[in-house]
Amino acid sequence: MKFIRKILLPFSLLYWLLMAMRNLFYNKGIFKSTEFTLPIIAIGNLSTGGTGKSPQTEYLIRLLKDKFRIATLSRGYKRKSTGYVLADANANASLLGDEPYQFYSKFPDINVAVDADRTNGITELLSLEPKPEVIILDDAYQHRKVKAGFYVLLTAYGDIYSDDYLLPAGNLREGRSGAKRADVIIVTKCPSHLSGAKKQGIIKKLRPLPNQKVYFTAIAYDTVVYNGVSHLNTIEVKAMKKVLVAGIAKPQPFFNHLKNENDICLIYPDHHDFSDKDIKDILAAAKDKIIVTTEKDYVRLKGKLPSDKLFYLPIKTSFLDRGDEFDKAVLDFIADYK
């Protein structure tokens, strides 16, 4: 891998130059950023994925939905529709993309929309009656055509951006200096018992600005798996023979949480559109076993596999400490927005 990275470094240098020029033009106002008259929170990362954006978006939804009229706006990655789409009773993963459809399925009382043109998407959301009071932009850290008021930058434990390289030698979408735009930095997917010394070591590597707070979160797995009708305790599930299916970035923690030595683990690309052949392969592997998948994959597999055999494991973001401080920072931003 080190040898391959060395070969690709010249291409990363060219990519860095292009991204640096792009960011410079936005910073100087040569490229226009649109600012709106309501609080907008942007969640994203510097890397190509696997940092836990969906759980963090859901965390903010839970924090805000009972206090404000909120909306989420995503690009709708790999959806089969185009333009602006507002989720309704006819929505599905093909129309919205898996993550936005997951948001809508779990939080039907909020507005969930998709649009690759975030400026247009926000404008459309603001035409609703009643209009949203807060908009959460999912995976929008590099979408500089919109100027958000509060930026949440995620980086995964064990794969922090300060240790990575730009594409194609590494996995960074933009240079590490892009972190300067963040209001808060969250190190995700941490071990539940991370020592203070290790936290300080990571903070030292990230080198946050004086105004930036760094938080640490872990993935909290539910104690049961669901299929929309029934549920099973995860302790029971771990002991069962089963097929585990994941089409997400970095699925190993999901497998590690549920698998035993008799299980079959099937891995697919992130946001995978499961074909008829894939479904046949999964069923052939399952036979008399249950199938357990991630929550994001479930919205793409639901209806394609027998509902009594297919279960999913929900996850949440859990702050290791100072979660109340993060909540207050978000709420203060909204309260002070002008």
Please state the pTM of the whole predicted model: 0.92
Q: What is the pLDDT of residue 5?
A: 72
Output the 3-class SS for the chain. CHHHHHHHHHHHHHHHHHHHHHHHHHHCCCCCCECCCCCEEEEEECECCCCCHHHHHHHHHHHHCCCCCEEEEECCCCCCCCCCEECCCCCCHHHHCHHHHHHHHHCCCCEEEECCCHHHHHHHHCCCCCCCCEEEEECCCCCCCECCCEEEEEEECCECHHHCCECCCCCECCCHHHHHHCCEEEEECCCCCCCHHHHHHHHHHHCCCCCCEEEEEEEEECCEEECCCCEEEHHHHHHCCEEEEECCCCCHHHHHHHCCCCCEEEECCCCCCCCHHHHHHHHHHHCCCEEEEEHHHHHHHECCECCCCEEEECEEEEECCCHHHHHHHHHHHHHHCC
What is the pLDDT averaged over residues 58-67?
A: 97
Nearest Cα neighbor of 150 from 67, 21, 44, 32 is: 44
Listed in sequence order, the residues at least 6 apart from 99 whose beta carbon sits closer than 8 Å to its beta carbon are 53, 54, 57, 74, 77, 138, 296
The pLDDT of 295-320, averaged and rounded, is 94
Q: Which neighbouring-strand residues pair with 267?
A: 246
- pLDDT-based confidence at residue 133 (cuts at 50, 70, 90): very high
Mean pLDDT of 44-64: 94
pLDDT score recorded for residue 2: 64
- pLDDT level of residue 49 (50, 70, 90 thresholds): confident
pLDDT, mean of residues 305-325:
96
Instruction: Say whether pLDDT at 1 is over 70.
Output: no
Average pLDDT of 121-141? 97
Q: Specify the higher pLDDT residue, 6 or 273.
A: 273
Residue 189 has pLDDT above 80, yes or no: yes
What's residue 275's pLDDT? 95
Rg (CA), the chain: 20
Contact call for residues 74 and 59 (beta carbons, < 8 A) = no
Instruction: Please state the separation of Cα 160 from the chain's center in Å.
Output: 16
| pLDDT score of 229 | 83
User: 50 falls in which pLDDT band (50, 70, 90)?
Assistant: confident
Bridging pattern class, strands 184-188 and 213-221 = parallel
Whether residue 298 has pLDDT greater than 90: yes
**Residue 338's pLDDT band (boundaries 50, 70, 90)?**
low
Q: What are phi and psi of 160, to 5 degrees?
A: -70, 155
Dihedral in degrees, nearest 10, Cα atoms 242, 245, 250, 256: -10
Indicate the average pLDDT of the chain: 94
Other C-beta atoms within 10 Å of 233: how many? 11
What is the structure's pLDDT at 217?
A: 98
Q: Could you read off the pLDDT of 265-292 as tens digits, one per residue?
A: 999 999 899 999 999 999 999 999 999 9
Q: Are 320 and 192 in contact (CB under 8 A)?
A: yes
What number is the average pLDDT over the span 134-150? 96
